[in-house]
């Protein structure tokens, strides 16, 4: 991956919740979830957390440009338990995005299979023959007028599946790219925001020991 990596350091680490089994974090945009292969890309949320909690492990990931809630576990039993919840789609997640244009109707479902666009990786693409099933629910929250005069829509996105770049490609497929998306946005939508307008706002999981349903919120920074 060729990019100028300059991850934010203020705050260096934002912990939303922590106990003996879990640590819930608010990842900033432009910080990798896990280290890249290049030594210059070693700084990551995983490494930062492991300096404080050496036994911590990643359960799921957010794209580098995406901000928001991410769950890590602090022991092997907790890791197995939470991983199983993600695999069996028992967790609940909601993202906030701002997309190009006026999205209509008020809500809908995108059901399009996705696969890696191998010659253009890390891009993903819709492929009806080889793609993995992928579904995203969307709900319009509000509309706004950008400085360029074009309309944009603030939308809540609920992924049913968890494919790589799923929300970004599904919005692209509806001709409503997410603003600030360096991989998928057209020039005007890219210029309309200083960062990818995608944030993991909400996560719900069952505690690996008590089985209590825990709900976490991190307000959108845009």
Confirm if 83 and 197 have CB atoms less than 8 A apart.
no
Query: Which ranges of the chain does DSSP label H, i.e. alpha helix?
Result: 45-52, 76-87, 166-173, 187-191
End-to-end CA distance of the chain: give it in Å, rounded: 26
Catalytic residue among 63, 111, 127, 181: 63
- Residue 19 known to be catalytic: no
DSSP for residue 55:
T
How far apart CA 81 and CA 22 sit, in angstroms, is 11
> What tokens does 188 get?
């005007």
Question: Comparing C-alpha atoms, which of 28, 16, 18, 13 is closest to residue 199?
Answer: 28
Question: Taking the CA of residue 181 as centre, how many other CA atoms within 13 Å lie in the half-sphere pointing to its CB?
Answer: 25
Whole-Å CA distances, 177 to 63, 145, 167, 198: 16, 15, 10, 11
Cα–Cα–Cα angle for 179, 36, 86, nearest 5°? 70
Whole-Å CA distances, 170 to 15, 57, 178, 193: 30, 29, 10, 19
Question: Catalytic residue numbers?
Answer: 63
């Amino acid at each position: 991956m060729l990019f100028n990596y300059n991850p934010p350091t203020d705050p260096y680490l934002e912990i939303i919740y922590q106990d003996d089994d879990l640590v819930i974090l608010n990842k900033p945009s432009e910080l990798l979830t896990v280290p890249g292969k290049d030594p210059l890309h070693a700084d990551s949320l995983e490494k930062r957390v492991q300096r404080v909690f050496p036994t911590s492990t990643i359960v799921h990931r957010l794209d580098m440009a995406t901000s928001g809630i991410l769950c890590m576990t602090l022991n092997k039993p907790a890791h197995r338990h939470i991983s199983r919840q993600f695999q069996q789609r028992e967790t609940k997640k909601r993202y906030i995005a701002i997309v190009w244009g006026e999205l209509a109707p008020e809500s809908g479902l995108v059901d399009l299979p996705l696969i890696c666009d191998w010659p253009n990786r890390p891009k993903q693409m819709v492929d009806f023959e080889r793609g993995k099933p992928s579904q995203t629910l969307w709900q319009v929250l509000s509309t706004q007028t950008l400085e360029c005069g074009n309309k944009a829509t603030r939308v809540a996105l609920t992924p049913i599946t968890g494919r790589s770049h799923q929300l970004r490609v599904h919005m692209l497929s509806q001709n409503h790219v997410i603003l600030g998306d360096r991989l998928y946005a057209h020039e005007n939508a890219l210029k309309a925001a200083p960062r990818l307008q995608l944030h993991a706002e909400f996560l719900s999981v069952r505690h690996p020991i008590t089985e209590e349903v825990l709900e976490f919120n991190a307000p959108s920074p845009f």
